[in-house]
Chains A and B, each alone.
Chain A
């Protein structure tokens, strides 16, 4: 299973050079790039852990790539994504977000169905990985 969140998940995994060009695009737009990681990739898990603060006032993608390298050293078997934050009025949110690191094995999700009154079903999406405690989910 391959989680397809983010902007480029349907393409072959991006090389560091490709990632760096996307980061440069964001920096040139004046957006702050943020590195986040998680071992709970539930589609509604909005808040992945932050690897430091968003990198404001940065001009060169090399800074982000260095931090990404550090993050991978520690969380190389987790999901890592880059998000670019635009603080201009009327937007003030994420402008681009894409996955740059995945665990070796992605077990995905199971769908639980609770049968309710009538033919109504209450659905719950559960990650196979989160049955194990945080930190030990991807081996």
Chain B
């Protein structure tokens, strides 16, 4: 470890505002022969801190939230992150001189104190495109988060956001189907899609499981879904599930005249098993399959290519993400995971409900949804979006809102999440007092009534409860759903919120 990292400098809490703004002022890079003298040297002197560097359009930029150990200079800590996520090792090596080392060094070019968070700094680091393999999330993530998160001089480190240059975006397939083609295939336009996860998650036999799928789809949902841990267990072998589910899908299709689907989870222990399950789903005529995030980035990309080749919609359940996305000071933000998954090529991704039972501050969630659905994301610090991101016509990903939502929240869901989203009411369908079909119908009627009102120009957010009550007059299932879940809300403080809050500007 470079000795400077161990010498306490001025404690960050005693730094003045002036000193903070001075942080970014000068380069300390040692050049020429001196740079390559054997021994240890501070990262900021090795060329990993270049405040004058202007990132190229083709550079990948990463924004880290760095929390240095007490007494560690934030500039040195940020330079160390740049170094350890690119070419550096703990000591000077002469073999650097056999390479175009300056090009390959990641360059930290800006360090800002995080507003209202003493001891935390935002470090902007630029990486040359040549550091990465085309079309490989595994390679991208191995570079950016591969090594540096356990680095001793840091208390904590979080990858907050990334700017992916068009030149790199274009090396990825992107979502196998995309929102537009998914809507065309499903013949569903102008409203969010409706889904439900089959409950209980574990223990149902294939035959009983298919019953839940049939009831929910016939009642009016577009999709049902396997849960993340439904794979192939003693109570239900995967083939049983697939066969009964497709009977249910086809029966509901004939009963309603609508296209229906059920996300058949093909997650398994090996790629070979996953391909076998996916092929069987295709043979049975399913329109959609599902995978879990825990299968890993390479497996996800393989399944995305399979889905594109086989005209299959690919649903991703973000199983496990909260282990590294939830805490504000350490890990990887979900907005980065969402960007990686859009590159990797999934069609659906769970991205939060705002009002449901799982973590999700409204502004941060809005940022995730924009990343999924827009062709261009401008900087929106108040949503936690730090970079302009051009997706260069890569397909759009359909966000999925799932977990603790019910028909009585329809106006809020539409307001927060918009129209291109899948609303998944698991308990809110299956837990309906009049049965699963009634639960599904309640959700569908609530949704259609809200869309109708919105399009008519009504203030649906404010009038939401009225609109629902009116629709319930001709729909007993909705009436009963509104009654059962009328007081259910999940109001807890979020652990992950944007650091920047817009302040009203003075009118000129």
Q: Which residues of B contact A43 (CB under 8 A)?
A: 187, 253, 257-259
Complex CA gap A8/B188 in Å reads: 11
Taken together as a complex, chains A and B put the C-alpha atoms of A46 and B185 apart, in Å, by: 9
Would you call A77 an interface residue if the criterion is a C-beta within 8 Å of the partner chain's C-beta atoms? no
Contact at B254–A95, with CB atoms within 8 Å?
A: no
Contact B258 A98 (CB under 8 A): no
Residues of A109-129 at the interface with B, using a CB-CB cut-off of 8 Å, are 109-111, 119-123, 125
A50 within 8 A of B: no
- Chain B residues whose CB sits within 8 angstroms of the CB of A41 once the complex forms: 257
Q: For the complex, what is the distance from the CA of A82 to the CA of B253, rounded to whole Å?
A: 22
Contact partners of A109 in chain B: CB under 8 A: 253-255, 257
Q: Is B393 an interface residue (CB 8 A)?
A: yes
Q: What residues on B are CB-neighbors of A11 within 8 Å?
A: 445, 448-449, 452, 471
A to B contact number (C-beta, < 8 Å): 106
Contact of B251 among A5, A22, A111 (CB under 8 A): A111
**Cβ-defined contact, A123 with B180, below 8 A:** no
Main SS class of interface, B: helix
Query: Binding site of A, secondary structure by majority: helix, strand, loop or mixed?
Result: loop
Check B409 for interface membership: any CB of A closer than 8 A.
no
Which of B227-235, B242-250, B334-342 lies on the face that meets chain A?
A: B242-250
By the criterion CB–CB under 8 Å, are B257 and A3 in contact?
A: yes
Q: Establish whether residues B256 and A3, one from each chain, have CB atoms under 8 Å apart when the complex forms.
A: yes
Interface positions, chain B 325-373, Cβ under 8 Å from A, are none
A57, CB-defined interface residue at 8 Å? no
> Assuming the A-B contacts A4-B258, A83-B189, are A10 and B441 also in contact, with contact meaning beta carbons closer than 8 angstroms in the complex?
yes
- B38 on the A face (CB < 8 A): no
Q: In the complex, which of the residues A5, A89, A123 has the most CB atoms of chain B within 10 Å of its own CB atom?
A: A123
Could you tell me if A96 and B257 are in contact, using CB atoms closer than 8 angstroms? no
Enumerate A2-55 residues with CB–CB distance to B below 8 Å: 3-5, 7-12, 14, 18, 21-22, 25, 41-44, 46
CB within 8 Å of B: which residues of A? 1, 3-5, 7-12, 14, 18, 21-22, 25, 41-44, 46, 83-84, 89-98, 108-111, 119-123, 125
What are 28 residue pairs bridging A and B, where the CB atoms are less than 8 Å apart in the complex?
A1-B257, A3-B256, A4-B220, A4-B256, A5-B187, A5-B258, A7-B189, A7-B191, A10-B441, A10-B448, A11-B445, A14-B452, A22-B452, A22-B456, A25-B456, A43-B187, A43-B253, A43-B259, A44-B187, A91-B180, A94-B183, A95-B189, A96-B189, A111-B254, A120-B283, A121-B243, A121-B246, A123-B246
